[in-house]
């Protein structure tokens, strides 16, 4: 055989190998997520689980350094036509993405690729938050949570209590007794976050945060929370602070609310069920603790709490192959085994009835490590969502949260009285809403 013939055969062989390798290369698509730290690691792990489950597609996953940054970076990338195929957007960004014109509705992707998603299997409290006015899902519910009251059982035992409080009045009376008896440095540790005191409190009391059914009925909604029982709730918090029963716990004061709870400094805190695992792994050894639903004021008919967390949005302007990969990924993470995996790896709740029922039957909630997490499900499903308790649909809600947070800080640090602070938060929040309304003038919420 001549050298020339060998060269030709080698070239042909190399070409065949290259073509074969190219044909087998997985189709890549980008997925951006907002969660950071331990929860960010779980997001990355979910991508690895998908990639390991099949060889046709590869999810290229990248954390964005926070929910707000994920939203901002995606918007900027879309304008530059360098956006991801899928992005994790938290609850507060829902309206912005509904009106963005930059997304491919979830229902459209499901139909186009004959996906296995069963929308009816999602808990109503989860799906209603993200649904359009017609009940259509434009994003895929993903990591979901709700708020709970964490309480130190050892501190409560000192005042003869074996269970956590059910009403606000009972809660405040309990922590006053604990503090008076010298059983804890603080009865209640809080920061300036708005999700639990404003959004969750308003939902379980069936109180509007804004007119027009919390914005679901139109972009002309106005904030009204300064005129509801929420104002009294914040005034009661201020009384506890002035009495020395409650204390502000932030990274600036030296401890976060979770740190103040897990080291035994504070008897109670409000936090997400997503932090249940964090508390379990960091609390002082030997401490007895538990969780209960957020207390309601006496005489109040309790309603469902709100879902928190994020959903996954599919962006417009991608190739059919990338959409095929996105559909495969979203089908994968929505399967019962994966929905069950998420609560095992985090404190998030199972978002489908099938997964929750399987976990219950398998004894997940009887395991001491996870006991109490079922209370989050009870809270989220306490009543069917109504026009007020289905969620909040306000434009640039992230900015509104920031204004409320700033005013709560002013109230609790003595710079303003509580009512003035809330009035100012509403005034500036309404300015944000009017600017948003003007930006989308002529458009209506889907």
What is the CATH code of the structural domain delimited by 147-305+395-439?
A: 3.40.190.10
Report the pLDDT value the prediction gives residue 24, as an integer from 0 to 100. Answer: 77
Report the pLDDT value the prediction gives residue 6, as an integer from 0 to 100. Answer: 46
Report the pLDDT value the prediction gives residue 5, as an integer from 0 to 100. Answer: 52
Place of tokens 């640090």: 413
pLDDT (mean) for 121-144? 92
Report the pLDDT value the prediction gives residue 72, as an integer from 0 to 100. Answer: 94
The pair of structure tokens assigned to 186 is 């603080």
Quick: pLDDT tens for 165-178.
Answer: 999 999 999 999 99
9 pLDDT band, cuts 50/70/90, is very low
Report the pLDDT value the prediction gives residue 23, as an integer from 0 to 100. Answer: 56
CA nearest neighbour of 324 among 113, 182, 44, 178: 113
Among 1-15, 63-77, 203-217, 311-325, the minimum mean pLDDT is found in 1-15
Q: Name the architecture of domain 9-145+307-366.
A: 3-Layer(aba) Sandwich (3.40)
Cα–Cα distance, 198 to 145 (Å, whole number)? 16
Report the pLDDT value the prediction gives residue 433, as an integer from 0 to 100. Answer: 98
Report the pLDDT value the prediction gives residue 253, as an integer from 0 to 100. Answer: 83
Quick: pLDDT tens for 12-57.
Answer: 445 554 554 455 799 999 999 999 988 899 999 999 999 999 999 9
Q: Please, is 61 exposed, middle or buried when counting C-beta atoms within 10 Å of its C-beta (0-12, 13-18, 19+)? A: buried
Cα–Cα distance, 22 to 195 (Å, whole number)? 49
365 pLDDT band, cuts 50/70/90, is very high
The pair of structure tokens assigned to 297 is 């004021």
- Percent of the chain exceeding pLDDT 70 equals 95
Q: What are the b/e assignments for 225-261, b being 16+ CB within 10 Å? A: bbebbbbebbebbbebbeeebbbbbbeeeebbbbbbb
Mean pLDDT, the chain, integer: 93
Q: Is 291 in a helix, a strand, or coil?
A: strand
Report whether pLDDT(362) > 80. yes
The CATH 3.40.190.10 portion of the chain extends over 9-145+307-366, 147-305+395-439
Report whether pLDDT(332) > 80. yes
Q: Which helix (H) or strand (E) holds 371?
A: none
C-beta contacts of 51-56 below 8 A and 24+ residues apart = 51/26, 53/332, 54/328, 55/24, 55/26, 56/26, 56/27, 56/325, 56/328
Report the pLDDT value the prediction gives residue 8, as an integer from 0 to 100. Answer: 45
Q: How many helices (H) does the chain have, and how many strands (E)?
A: 19, 11
384 pLDDT band, cuts 50/70/90, is very high
pLDDT (mean) for 318-343? 96
Quick: pLDDT tens for 92-112.
Answer: 999 999 999 999 999 999 999
Place of tokens 């139109």: 218
Report whether pLDDT(319) > 60. yes
């Amino acid at each position: 055989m001549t050298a020339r013939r060998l060269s030709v055969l080698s070239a042909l062989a190399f070409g065949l190998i290259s073509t074969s390798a190219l044909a087998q290369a997985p189709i890549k698509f980008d997925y951006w997520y907002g969660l950071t730290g331990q929860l960010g690691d779980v997001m990355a792990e979910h991508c690895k689980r998908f990639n390991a489950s099949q060889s046709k597609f590869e999810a290229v996953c990248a954390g964005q350094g926070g929910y707000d940054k994920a939203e901002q970076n995606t918007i900027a990338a879309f304008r530059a036509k360098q956006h991801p195929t899928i992005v994790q957007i938290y609850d507060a960004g829902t309206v912005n993405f509904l009106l963005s014109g930059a997304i491919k509705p979830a229902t459209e992707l499901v139909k186009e690729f004959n996906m296995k998603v069963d929308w009816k299997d999602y808990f109503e409290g989860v799906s209603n938050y993200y649904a359009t006015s017609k009940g259509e899902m434009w994003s895929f519910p993903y990591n979901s949570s709700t708020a709970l009251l964490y309480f130190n059982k050892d501190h409560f035992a000192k005042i003869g209590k074996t269970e956590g409080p059910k009403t606000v009045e009972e809660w405040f009376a309990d922590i006053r007794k604990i503090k008076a008896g010298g059983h804890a440095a603080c009865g209640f540790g809080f920061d300036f976050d708005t999700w639990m005191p404003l959004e969750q409190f308003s939902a379980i009391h069936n109180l509007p945060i804004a007119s027009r059914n919390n914005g679901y009925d139109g972009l002309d909604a106005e904030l009204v929370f300064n005129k509801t029982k929420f104002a009294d709730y914040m005034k009661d918090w201020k009384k506890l602070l002035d009495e020395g029963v409650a204390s502000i716990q932030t990274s600036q004061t030296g401890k976060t609310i979770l740190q103040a709870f897990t080291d035994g400094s504070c008897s109670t805190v409000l936090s997400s069920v997503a932090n249940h695992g964090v508390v379990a792994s960091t609390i002082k050894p030997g401490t007895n603790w538990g969780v209960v639903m957020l207390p309601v004021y006496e005489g109040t008919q309790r309603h469902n709490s709100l879902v928190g967390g994020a959903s996954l949005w599919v962006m417009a302007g991608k190739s059919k192959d990338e959409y095929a990969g996105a559909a495969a990924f979203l089908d994968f993470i929505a399967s019962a085994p994966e929905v069950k995996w998420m609560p095992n790896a985090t404190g998030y709740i199972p978002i489908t009835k099938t997964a929750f029922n399987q976990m219950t039957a398998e004894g997940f909630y009887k395991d001491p490590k996870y006991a109490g997490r079922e209370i989050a499900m009870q809270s989220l499903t306490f009543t069917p969502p109504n026009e007020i308790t289905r969620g909040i649909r306000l434009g640039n809600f992230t900015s509104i949260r920031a204004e409320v947070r700033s005013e709560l800080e002013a109230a609790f640090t003595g710079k303003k009285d509580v009512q003035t602070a809330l009035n100012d938060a509403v005034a500036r929040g309404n300015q944000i809403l009017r600017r948003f309304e003007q930006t989308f003038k002529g458009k209506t919420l889907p």
